[in-house]
Amino acid sequence: MAAPAKGGPGVQIYLPIAEMPVSVLLILGLGAAVGFISGLFGIGGGFLMTPLLIFLGIPPAVAVATQSAQIVASSTTSVLGALRRNALDLRLGAILIAGGFVGSILGVWFFAAARRAGQLDLVIVFSYVTLFTIVGSLMLKESIREFWTKRRGGAVRPRRRAGEHAPYLGWPLRMRFYRSKLYVSVIPILTLSLFIGFAGALLGIGGGFIVVPALLYVFRVPTTVVVGTSQFQIVCTTLVSLILHAITNQAVDIVLAILLIVGGVFGAQFGARMGRNLRAELFRFLLAILLLAVGLRFALELVVRPQEPFSVTVQETRQEARQEARP
Amino acid sequence: MRALGLLLILLCSGVAARAETLVTSVSNHRVLITSNYTGTSIVVFGAIERDAQTVSRGTGYDIVVTVRGPQQFLVVREKEQLGPVWINREQQKFPLAPAYLGVLSSRPLDEITSPQLRQRQKVGLRAIINAADFTNERAGADDAFREALYRLKAQEGLYLEDPRGVTFLTPSLFRASIPLPATAPPGAYAVEVALFADTVILARTTTDFELVKTGFEEQMGVVARDWSALYGLATALIALFFGWLANITFRRD
Please state the ipTM of this predicted complex: 0.78
- Residue A326: what pLDDT? 30
Question: Closest residue of B to A6, CA-based?
Answer: B182
Nearest by CB to A121, which of B38, B74, B88? B88
Does B73 contact A265 at a Cβ distance shorter than 8 Å? no
Does B186 contact A239 at a Cβ distance shorter than 8 Å? no
- Residue A228: what pLDDT? 85
Q: Determine which of A28-32, A141-145, B143-147, B211-215 has the lowest per-residue pLDDT on average.
A: A141-145
The Cα B197–Cα B112 span in angstroms is 8
Q: What is the pTM of this model?
A: 0.76
**Cβ B118 vs Cβ B109: under 8 Å:** yes
DSSP A215: I
Nearest by CB to A313, which of B75, B185, B246? B75
B-chain CB neighbours of A17 within 8 Å are 220-221, 224
Nearest by CB to A69, which of B76, B187, B239? B239
Question: Closest residue of B to A246, CA-based?
Answer: B232
Cβ neighbours of residue B114 closer than 8 Å, sequence gap 6 or more: B199
Nearest by CB to B236, which of A4, A239, A250? A239
B184 touches chain A (CB under 8 A): no
B84 touches chain A (CB under 8 A): yes
Cβ neighbours of residue B150 closer than 8 Å, sequence gap 6 or more: B125, B126, B129, B159
A-chain CB neighbours of B37 within 8 Å are 14, 21
Q: How many residues does chain A have?
A: 327
Residue A211 Cα, gap to closest chain B Cα (Å): 21
Identify the burial level of B137 via C-beta atoms within 10 angstroms of its C-beta, where 0-12 means exposed, 13-18 middle and 19 or more buried.
exposed
B227 touches chain A (CB under 8 A): no
Does A16 contact B74 at a Cβ distance shorter than 8 Å? no
Residue B24 Cα, gap to closest chain A Cα (Å): 23
Round to the nearest angstrom and report the end-to-end CA distance of chain B.
89
- Residue A217: what pLDDT? 78
Residue B190 Cα, gap to closest chain A Cα (Å): 12
Per-residue pLDDT of chain A (327 residues; tens, 9 = 90+): 334 444 456 788 888 888 888 999 999 999 999 988 887 887 777 888 888 888 888 887 788 788 888 888 888 888 888 888 888 888 888 888 888 888 877 887 787 777 766 667 778 788 888 888 888 888 888 888 877 887 776 555 555 444 455 666 767 777 777 777 777 788 888 888 888 888 877 776 777 778 888 888 788 888 778 888 888 888 888 888 888 778 877 788 999 999 999 988 888 888 878 877 877 778 778 888 988 888 888 888 888 888 888 888 877 776 543 333 333
Residue B146 Cα, gap to closest chain A Cα (Å): 11
Does B229 contact A268 at a Cβ distance shorter than 8 Å? no
Interface test with B, best of A15, A17, A19, A23 (most B CBs within 10 A): A19
Does B84 contact A70 at a Cβ distance shorter than 8 Å? no
DSSP state string for chain B = -HHHHHHHHHHHHHHHHHHEEEEEEES-SEEEE-TT---EEEEEEEEEEE-TTPPPPSS--EEEEEEE--EEEEEEEEEEEETTEEEEEEEEEEEEEES-EEEEESS-HHHHS-HHHHHHHT-SHHHHHT-GGGS---TTTTHHHHHHHHHHHHHTTSEEEETT-EEEEETTEEEEEEEE-TTSPSEEEEEEEEEEETTEEEEEEEEEEEEEE-HHHHHHHHHHHHTHHHHHHHHHHHHHHHHHHHHHHT---
Interface test with A, best of B247, B248, B251 (most A CBs within 10 A): B247
The Cα B164–Cα A66 span in angstroms is 42
Interface test with A, best of B72, B209, B245 (most A CBs within 10 A): B72
Q: How confident is the model at residue B210 (pLDDT cuts 50, 70, 90)?
A: very high
Does B152 contact A319 at a Cβ distance shorter than 8 Å? no
Q: Provide the chain B residues 157-176 that lie in CB contact (below 8 A) with chain A.
A: none
Does A69 contact B236 at a Cβ distance shorter than 8 Å? yes
B233 touches chain A (CB under 8 A): yes
What tens digit of pLDDT does each residue of B12-67 get? 454 444 578 899 999 989 999 888 888 899 999 999 988 766 666 667 889 999 99
Does B86 contact A303 at a Cβ distance shorter than 8 Å? yes
Residue A217 Cα, gap to closest chain B Cα (Å): 29
The Cα A250–Cα A289 span in angstroms is 35
Buried b (16+ CB within 10 A) or exposed e, A80-90: bbbeeeebbbe
